[in-house]
A and B are shown apart, each in its own frame.
Chain A
């Protein structure tokens, strides 16, 4: 249990607070590091938010951040290894959820994790260690058998969506195994954060990590830089940012409900939800001139303080669209022809979800109360008691219903945040593009985007320049959940399963 670990094995941080000296992070021997990870992970209320390596002049520093939901904190610890390190024993067999992070380290630094069951490239990053590994040679699993066949889909899909390759091994119509091969969207985002020196450039870049989560990632970045500069933003701005985040959640949940209806051929559900999504993103456009909220979130302040006129328009739209949404959703989730496709389809069990470290609404559909708004509150959620929406069946229906209830909840949250806004002091600064960053520091920032937990972390050098930037989209954890969900399902049910998660390709590929 974690309370038995001597506290000098890690440093305890709070979300949305100040940065720490890089030297404050305890650097352990690898054996000791593994012990700490294992003892922390013995508690199912803890999960790994990030584990990555960073090349210093004379060594690799491996940093691990684990979230303790009950303690509402983040524990950070590290191990260091010499440059040219060839291998380490893998933790994946004991702690499956670390699998993706070990794969990423292998790809970037060539460290082989011995005992890892599928130590394959993650995204074919441009700066990967082994350039002989190319997209076309991805080592897919295969099963020999006369009755089995493979189905390959992508990278270009039928609809207008991002590229990725799905390889199914099927027995007749039934999926035995799905392997998801990504990397097509890799733009070199993390390197870009180090290359681009101006704060505004980085803010714009953060909004492009995943355009459907421009506010979520933009806010994770702004919060991170505020940790590093010591800027405290006003209560009013925190409320406005939180409203923006909930608007984003509303829009996507409605859009995804439309997509789910499309895939079960329920056209009314599709068109009504599409039109409803339009009303929400047009509200965001009315606020800041961009339907996705690009430009709305900036470090230290805002260029678009909410006006009373805007608030009234927004509340009017939300009231109208909310009522229309509820009437539609009540129909969708009682309609037998829809339910028969959603119910019991694509189950991820509670145990599976815990073991692979699922986060966000996908985890909540499996009964895991993981929601950064309540476990590691940030911005206005520090003064707002939010309780996660839970369902336990882990199927498409559960993911749909979690979206349905969260949509209703977000409408209410916004209403209550507006009340808090009315009582807050009229004070919103202009964005800050000049403050210097704390030198030799480490900072971490968590946001509950509509998909789930977004984590940005950063390391600065002696001059306060960013030398390492790490982005983690919730999709990093959750693609595996999709692969597990479709096992033993009809291959024709893949689209609704895919839509029920709606994971990010670009947020994963970076």
Chain B
């Protein structure tokens, strides 16, 4: 008993008081910024370097939904592209994930597209079912971490539940394998309406390094509307929780 009290005291207070204002290490690879004066040749160089074809030429931009955050581009041209430690990079549209050159503004959700019932129903309690469909277990561990003593998303009523029947939405990690496609579909249909779909991590959003692999079946993404995209390789717990807070409009 005394030993436990000693450990508790040693353990101290672990929770992060304000999940909106954490200062992560400067090396954290969050929202990228591309210099507005980047030349056409430099653009071609970055397109050639990128392992996951995340750059697009006209206008020159980086798609965070495809980016694997390896930072090879920033190592090649440190004056032209940098990764800031801004972890608030979730978006409810695919366009919101695209960083055009010269743009250095926080990512914001397009509020006009958020269904009004989401806020009404889920602002104080949002229960989610997670499905890993080819995830490499790093995103899964980060989603677990979102509920741990440090990030403690339970304080906002966010919680992962054991059954889709108890859930308000599904969080998908991984590029969605052929072998998991059916189980994911069954899970989705087991969730009562209205329901959310959240894609967590670059693999889920675009397939990442597995884009176009024959072992995938991404029909699900085409078939059902997605409410929130959370980029990252893996997505950071802070990115995830902040994305959810924005979606249900918690200040």
Asked if A188 lies at the interface with its beta carbon under 8 angstroms from chain B, I say: yes
Beta-carbon contacts under 8 Å, A183-215 to B: 183-188, 191-192, 196, 198, 200-201, 204-205, 208-212, 214
**What residues of chain B lie closer than 8 Å to A124, measured between beta carbons?**
179
Asked if B141 lies at the interface with its beta carbon under 8 angstroms from chain A, I say: yes
Take A126-B215, A156-B187, A204-B52 as given contacts and tell me if A211 and B7 are in contact as well, using a CB distance cutoff of 8 Å.
Answer: no
**What residues of chain B lie closer than 8 Å to A96, measured between beta carbons?**
none
Q: How far is the CA of A161 from the CA of B160 in the complex (A)?
A: 12
Beta-carbon contacts under 8 Å, B16-50 to A: 24-25, 27-29, 49
Q: Is the CB of B51 within 8 A of A198?
A: yes
Q: Is the CB of A186 within 8 A of B11?
A: no
Most buried by A among B24, B174, B175, B203: B174
Residue interface mask A133-164, B partner, CB < 8 A = 1: 00100000000000000000001101111110
Take A162-B135, A274-B149, A295-B71 as given contacts and tell me if A331 and B177 are in contact as well, using a CB distance cutoff of 8 Å.
Answer: no
**What residues of chain A lie closer than 8 Å to B148, measured between beta carbons?**
271, 274-275, 278
Contact of B132 among A158, A162, A200, A201 (CB under 8 A): A162
Q: How far is the CA of A278 from the CA of B51 in the complex (A)?
A: 29
Q: Is the CB of B137 within 8 A of A212?
A: yes
Q: Is the CB of A295 within 8 A of B209?
A: no
Beta-carbon contacts under 8 Å, B147-191 to A: 148-150, 160, 162-163, 174-175, 177-180, 182-183, 187
Asked if B104 lies at the interface with its beta carbon under 8 angstroms from chain A, I say: no
Asked if A292 lies at the interface with its beta carbon under 8 angstroms from chain B, I say: yes
Q: Is the CB of B216 within 8 A of A187?
A: yes
Nearest Cβ in chain B — how far from A510, in angstroms?
9
Take A126-B214, A204-B209 as given contacts and tell me if A324 and B29 are in contact as well, using a CB distance cutoff of 8 Å.
Answer: no
Q: Is the CB of B25 within 8 A of A185?
A: no
Asked if B233 lies at the interface with its beta carbon under 8 angstroms from chain A, I say: yes
CB nearest neighbor in B for A209: B136
Beta-carbon contacts under 8 Å, B196-251 to A: 203, 208-210, 213-216, 233-234, 236
**What residues of chain A lie closer than 8 Å to B10, measured between beta carbons?**
324, 327
Asked if A125 lies at the interface with its beta carbon under 8 angstroms from chain B, I say: yes
Chain B: interface residue count, which band? 35 or more
CB nearest neighbor in A for B164: A156
**What residues of chain A lie closer than 8 Å to B175, measured between beta carbons?**
187
**What residues of chain B lie closer than 8 Å to A209, measured between beta carbons?**
136
Q: Is the CB of A200 within 8 A of B183?
A: no
Nearest Cβ in chain A — how far from B239, in angstroms?
12
Q: How far is the CA of A159 from the CA of B140 in the complex (A)?
A: 10
Nearest Cβ in chain A — how far from B179, in angstroms?
5
Contact of B213 among A158, A187, A268, A295 (CB under 8 A): A187
Q: How far is the CA of A327 from the CA of B11 in the complex (A)?
A: 10
- Of the listed stretches A166-174, A281-289, A387-395, chain B binds A281-289
Q: Is the CB of A160 within 8 A of B149?
A: no
Q: How far is the CA of A264 from the CA of B250 in the complex (A)?
A: 35
Asked if B139 lies at the interface with its beta carbon under 8 angstroms from chain A, I say: yes
Q: Is the CB of B130 within 8 A of A328?
A: no
Residue interface mask A486-510, B partner, CB < 8 A = 1: 0000000000000000001110010
**What residues of chain A lie closer than 8 Å to B203, measured between beta carbons?**
208
Q: How far is the CA of A210 from the CA of B135 in the complex (A)?
A: 9
**What residues of chain A lie closer than 8 Å to B7, measured between beta carbons?**
268, 272, 324, 327-328, 331
CB nearest neighbor in A for B161: A158
Q: Is the CB of A289 within 8 A of B27?
A: yes
Take A289-B28, A289-B29 as given contacts and tell me if A127 and B214 are in contact as well, using a CB distance cutoff of 8 Å.
Answer: yes
Most buried by A among B25, B138, B203: B138
Take A158-B162, A160-B143, A268-B7 as given contacts and tell me if A294 and B70 are in contact as well, using a CB distance cutoff of 8 Å.
Answer: yes
Q: How far is the CA of A295 from the CA of B27 in the complex (A)?
A: 11
Contact of A291 among B6, B142, B177, B180 (CB under 8 A): B142
Q: How far is the CA of A295 from the CA of B73 in the complex (A)?
A: 12
Smallest CB-CB A-B distances: 8 pairs: A211-B138, A188-B215, A211-B136, A289-B27, A158-B162, A126-B215, A201-B51, A160-B130
A-B contact pairs, 20 of them (CB 8 A): A125-B215, A156-B183, A159-B162, A160-B140, A162-B140, A184-B134, A184-B179, A184-B183, A185-B177, A187-B215, A188-B210, A200-B49, A201-B51, A204-B51, A268-B8, A278-B148, A289-B28, A295-B69, A303-B71, A505-B137
Known pairs A210-B137, A303-B75, A504-B137 / 18 extra A-B pairs, C-beta < 8 Å: A160-B144, A160-B160, A183-B179, A184-B133, A184-B134, A184-B180, A184-B183, A187-B175, A200-B49, A204-B51, A205-B209, A211-B139, A268-B4, A286-B25, A291-B236, A294-B70, A328-B7, A506-B137
